[in-house]
Structure 1
Amino acid sequence: MAVTADDEEFAAFERRGWARRSATYHDGFGAMTAGLHEALLDAAAVGAGIRLLEVGCGTGRLAARALARGARVVATDADRRMAGAAAAALPGALVRTARLPGLPFAGAEFDAAIGAFVINHVPDPPAAVADLGRVLRPGGRLVLSCWDTAERNRAQGVFFDAVAEAGAARPPGVPAGSPFARYAGPEALAGLLRAAGLAEVRVERAGWTHRVDADRWWQDVLDGTVLTAALIEGRPPQEVERIRAAYGRLAARYRDGFPAAALVAVGTRV
């Protein structure tokens, strides 16, 4: 499927948003995504001597865990500020600024590749998966994660529900969704990997609990997401207060932690 002007605008919107969050992502929203990192490393069979590529590395938290397992790590991020933060945190890894697709690596260079919540941010998911498959050696494993439905992933879903409960229309200039939306289910996600020529494809659901104070989580999401935060930030103060009040009522049921949920896709290069 060809990349549309809307897809390109979504990618530009994302780049602008992430450029403002390189200093605030790690300790907030990044800490929530880390709840899945060990499972992703296990799925990719990351261990001593494995040459691993991580795309969308953010501030380097997953790559640090891979290094601790003895892997040889190359990490990339599309935002130079994020890549800079990762490079400072990962003296044992090679960190580069690179977009997906368009990875600056030769074919069959890596034993494994992981993209933790990155495929849902790219303008051309089929091309991105094909590029990741290209850089894997035969038998190499690709592992990708994306968010599950808002009904399962309450850590973010509570914000969407709060916006709806407050009756707040989508702000001008905010994309209705991502180009990945059509693949955001188990069968479609598996099909995306198979279409790229990967074999032994499986998609599984994963869940964990993110324990955080509701007031802190409100700020973490504003400081650590782009599309979700854009549904709230920049509105008139009275609209933000209505959304915040709705969020408070909805979040009260999660005093023991917000349920987080993701899909994890695994495929092997033939």
Structure 2
Amino acid sequence: MARPETVDEGQHMVEFAEFERSGWARRSRTYDDGFGAMTAGLHGRLLAEAGVGPGVRLLEVGCGTGRLASAAVGLGAEVVATDAVPEMVAEAGRLLPEVVRAELPGLPFEANGFDCSVGAFVINHVPDPVAAVRDLARVTVPGGAVVLSCWDALTANRAQGVFFDAVAEAGAARPAGLPDNAPFTPYATPEAFAGLLRTGGLTGVEVHRVGWTHRVAPDRWWRAVLTGTVLTSSLIEGQDEPTVRRIRERYDALTARWAESDGTVAMPVAALVAVGRSTG
């Protein structure tokens, strides 16, 4: 039996959703070229897991600026893309034929309307992960794939983990007003992620660890994270100038271990890809 939601938990969900929406609204014009380019390294795998091809009716949730949905259109899929942030919907509309402003959970679609559903790094940003999975299962045809990704542990996902390490080594305190934890945090392991999909009504669940390398100039990656993430950037933006300088010094020292001869760094990236089947 599900544990009843308390008033505090409900308020935390509301506050977290607002924190995310306002943060992504400010980054709608700067996300794609920096951090979005790194996340795109997983798009091919997500589309393959979903079985996307000509004529497939695909729903993408949390589409951001539309990179993944655009790739699906290129494969011949019939795509409906959604995002909860109006500014992201506007950006995605530059690339895509149909973008809908929609919350997850709370999708404005009838049951069994799509052959598959995909969410690239969105489940870790929603206020109620269980309800979100149930909503995706609802709108996906029986037997259709629901494919979701989240980041792996920071010890493996060094492209992001290096920022948290730099903050810690600089002795920086957590800025006031940040959410303590994302609602998804308890599900951020392969076993727990699989359990989340099963609790949300999916069957045949599998979770895969996927890694790739993101090559980028260290200065550019610093700017990409500050202008293309919400929580990670807030850990730095909320500091005074001397503290930001200390964090940057530690970041430069830490990223030097991945330095390439051309001046870039080869950053290890790691994610979890979860796949389940709707039962209708």
Q: Is 1:70 the equivalent of 2:98?
A: no
Q: Compute the displacement of 1:120 (Å).
A: 0.3
Question: Hey, what does 1:149 align to over in structure 2?
Answer: 153
**Is contact 1:53–1:75 with CA below 8 Å preserved after alignment?**
yes
Q: Which residue of 2 aligns with 1:58?
A: 64
The amino acid across from 2:171 in the alignment is G
Equivalents in 2 of 1:80, 1:126: separation in Å?
24
Report the counterpart of residue 126 of structure 1 in structure 2.
130
Distance 1:167 1:6 in 2: 27
2:221 matched to 1:217? yes
Q: Which amino acid aligns with 1:11?
A: A
Q: Is the CA contact (8 Å cut-off) linking 2:66 and 2:95 kept in structure 1?
A: yes
Residue of structure 1 in register with 2:51 after alignment: 45
Gaps of 5+ in 1: none
Deviation by residue 1:125-144 (Cα, 9 ceiling, x = unmatched):
00000000000011110000
Aligned to 1:6: 12
Query: Mean Cα displacement is larger for which, 168-177 or 216-225?
Result: 168-177
Corresponding position: 1:85 with 2:91: yes
Q: Which amino acid aligns with 1:95?
A: V
Quote the residue 1:29 is aligned against.
35
Alpha-carbon separation, structure 2, partners of 1:65 and 1:229 = 28
Give the partner amino acid of 1:227.
L
Q: Does the 8 Å CA contact 2:43/2:68 hold for their aligned counterparts? A: yes
Does 1:248 find its partner at 2:257?
A: no
> Quick one: which amino acid aligns to residue 257 of structure 2?
R
CA positional deviation for 1:7: 2.4
SS where residue 89 of structure 1 aligns?
A: coil
Q: Which residue of 1 aligns with 2:263?
A: none
* Deviation string, structure 1 residues 221-250 (Cα, Å, up to 9, x no partner): 000000000000032100100101011100
Following TM superposition, by how much is the alpha carbon of 1:88 offset from its aligned partner in structure 2, in angstroms?
A: 1.3
Structure 1 counterpart of 2:151, one-letter code: W
Aligned position for 1:100? 104
Distance 2:244 2:218 in 1: 16
Alignment partner of 1:197 is 2:201: yes
1:16 deviation in Å? 1.0
Q: TM-score, normalised by structure 1?
A: 0.98
For 2:69, the aligned partner's letter is A
- 2: CA distance, partners of 1:60 / 1:145: 16
8 Å contact kept, 1:77–1:83: yes
2:242 is aligned, of 238, 244, 249, to 238
Report the 3-state secondary structure (helix = DSSP H, G, I; strand = E; otherwise coil) of the residue aligned with 1:88: coil
Cα distance in 2 for residues equivalent to 1:46 and 1:213? 33
Moved over 3 A (4+): none
* Aligned mates of 2:244, 2:271 — CA distance in 1: 28
8 Å contact from structure 1 (residues 22, 81) kept in 2: yes
Unaligned runs of 5+ in 2: 261-265
Matched position secondary structure for 1:127: helix
Seq. identity, %: 63
Shift of 1:94: 1.4
1:229 and 2:209 are equivalent in the alignment: no
Aligned to 1:206: 210
Residue aligned with 1:190, SS: helix
* TM alignment of 1:159-178, pairs within 5 A: 159-178=163-182
Query: Structure 2-normalised TM-score?
Result: 0.94
